[in-house]
Amino acid sequence: MTTLFETLAIKNGQILNLVYHNKRFKQGQILLNRQTMIDDIASLIDIPSHFKDNQLIRCRVTYNNDDIKVAYFDYTPKPITSFKLIEYNKIDYAYKYDDRSVLTSLLSQKGNCDEVIIIKNGFVTDCSIGNLLFFKNNHWYTPNTPLLEGAQRAYLLDKQMIKLASIQQNDIWHYEKIMMINALNGFDEDRAVEIAHALYDN
């Protein structure tokens, strides 16, 4: 049975980018052919009392055709400052599948780096835990070939804070900086890393 999940960032009691998570949550339910559709993922959220004072909470909503589970976790951002390029053409992660074995396998090849950049058919996609942004000429770009169209990425595109670009593997070196984004790691230029210091391709 196919199982999907959503990772939500809850900051000071508020779900960030809720509109975008609801859109993907609906798409996931349609994919699973759920008989009972839930329009608002927020209706599932009931923060336990011992998390009430936390400024940032990671919430994971795991669901399949007939079951939904909600779990809450403390979250402390981990710096991502180095990436290894990994080529793998067979990966398909258009939905947030609970089975992340392929991503885990690719991440295991990172060596001493913090993360991997997954190259598919010569094009830059994502890293194992989020989408990627690249900076040059005073603009931020995100690959138009992501594995997963993340909620944070969708928000930044709608706000015109980033632009789409076709980025092949060899194009990466034409950019100045790189940044990882996901539900819990929003746009923050302080987290950006210079390409020359961040990338390893062997």
Q: pLDDT tier at 202 (50, 70, 90 boundaries)?
A: low
pLDDT over threshold 90, residue 33: yes
**Does the domain at residues 4-74 carry the CATH identifier 3.30.470.10?**
yes
User: Cα separations (Å) of 22 from 5, 39, 40, 140?
Assistant: 12, 7, 6, 26
Same fold, 4-74 and 83-200: no
Q: What is the mean pLDDT of residues 45-57?
A: 87
CATH architecture of 83-200: Alpha-Beta Barrel (3.20)
Closest listed residue to residue 130, CA positions, set 35, 15, 22, 7: 7
Question: In the chain, what are the domain boundaries?
Answer: 4-74, 83-200
pLDDT over threshold 80, residue 21: yes
Tell me the C-alpha distance between 76 and 41, whole Å. Answer: 23
Q: What is the mean pLDDT of residues 182-198?
A: 95
| pLDDT tens per residue across span 74-91 | 998 889 999 999 999 999
pLDDT over threshold 80, residue 201: no
Give pLDDT, residue 64: 96
